Amino acid sequence: MSAPIDDNQVPKTPDLALAHQRFIISQGPVELRDEAKNKLFEAIKENNMAPFYKVMVEELQAPFDQALYDAMVAKNEEELKKFDDKAVDAEQNQGETEINEAFLSKADYYAKIGDKENALAAYENLLKRSITLGTRIDIVFTFVRIGFFFNDNSLVRPNIEKLRELIEQGGDWDRRNRLKVYEGVYLMSIRDFKGAASLFLDTLSTFTSTEIMSYQDFVKYAVLTSLISMKRVDIKKRVLDAPEILEVISDIPHLEDFMASLYNCKYAQFFHSLAAVEQAHLRTSRYLLPHMRYYIREMRIQAYAQLLESYRSLTVTSMAQAFGMSEEYIDKDLYKFIAAGRLNCVIDKVNGIIETNRPDAKNAQYQAVIKQGDLLLNRVQKLSRVIDV
């Protein structure tokens, strides 16, 4: 299934596929780096991205082709002159709308060729002019994309906040949905998987933001963030049974096995698919790679906890068989999570038994009240000492 058609398709300005290739070259799997480098420099040449070419040559310590660079600079200057001429003509012979369109085209061109500073400055100047709310919103969306392109969260975060304010003033349905996708990507990049999953699932049937990612990638991220953050009953209802996911899940390697094996308690299959997902999707994602170790750990804990919920006790041998792992591995893995307070069980090493000790809800509440009461008393005592002084 392809993404839903959008009559007002937002241009890929800048093209985030190049940011992905840049990531693969520096941090992705070694076997993918040469292909990514070729694709990146082909796109740079095709789009005459002189400013970005200079950045990438310095970053990758690649040979600098002066003739190529000069040719691209000349092409950039030629195109920018056209925009300037168009703006002058609009000022002399047309109206404010045409003038703004000329300035916007020039700003878009700067963004397209990877000239971050000039693009931001051109957009900022345009925001100072008398423009429609829709154009203002679209410019701020472009700020967010530039932030994603250059991996600059200091540009992404405040502009998402600004988008919320602008859209509340009169953003249309399409822009409201687009904001959910942009914010979901940002939340995923800072490890707020629960917030990201909620926004992604809300826009499954209305996704049009192909300037950010393909529809398949969007579904992939929706599934990955949901599995780590949602309850089992919600996963069944909103992910496993979602028609939008079911239509494309078979086209995304390993994801269907990963999703179904956990829900269906096929733990050995789940561990194999988790390893495959790590290689195919986590290591190749610039949004998820920084959180890969966390993601793998949390999914293992989730699988262990799901199995243990069904038993008061079980043998280490049976658990090792269920996960397709050795007893030694299971013993060491469980020990780490038990010691960290992440699994409610104990291991009887003598008898080779794992005993669960689910905490009583009322007792947990009582302990929480005691703890909070102690904190309150400490603060009162500190305050009284200050008052006495």
63: left (phi over 0), alpha (psi -120 to 50) or beta: beta
pLDDT-derived band at 212 (thresholds 50, 70, 90) equals very high
Q: What percent of the chain has pLDDT over 90?
A: 85
What three-state secondary structure class fits 258? Answer: helix
- In this prediction, residue 250 carries a pLDDT of 94
Tens-digit pLDDT profile for residues 25-56 = 999 999 999 999 999 999 999 999 999 999 99
Work out whether strand 353-356 and strand 313-315 pair parallel, antiparallel, or are unpaired. antiparallel
Q: Say what the pLDDT of residue 384 is.
A: 75
DSSP classification of residue 379 = H
How does DSSP classify residue 14?
A: S
Contact 86, 104 (CB under 8 A): no
Which amino acid does the sequence have at 165?
E
Model pLDDT, residue 2: 39
Q: How far apart are CA 283 and CA 288, in angstroms?
A: 8
Region 215-239: what's the mean pLDDT? 96
Amino acid, single-letter form, for residue 53: Y
Is the confidence at residue 117, as pLDDT, over 90? yes
State pTM to two decimals: 0.88
| DSSP state letters, 284-314 | T-TTTGGGHHHHHHHHHHHHHHHHHTT-SEE
Q: What is the mean pLDDT of the chain?
A: 92
pLDDT band at 4 (very low <50, low <70, confident <90, very high): very low
Q: Determine contact, residues 315/347, Cβ cutoff 8 Å.
A: no
How far apart, in Å, are the Cα atoms of 282 and each of 9, 30, 44, 383?
A: 28, 14, 26, 49
pLDDT exceeds 90 at position 270: yes
- The pLDDT-based confidence of 372 (bands split at 50, 70, 90) is confident
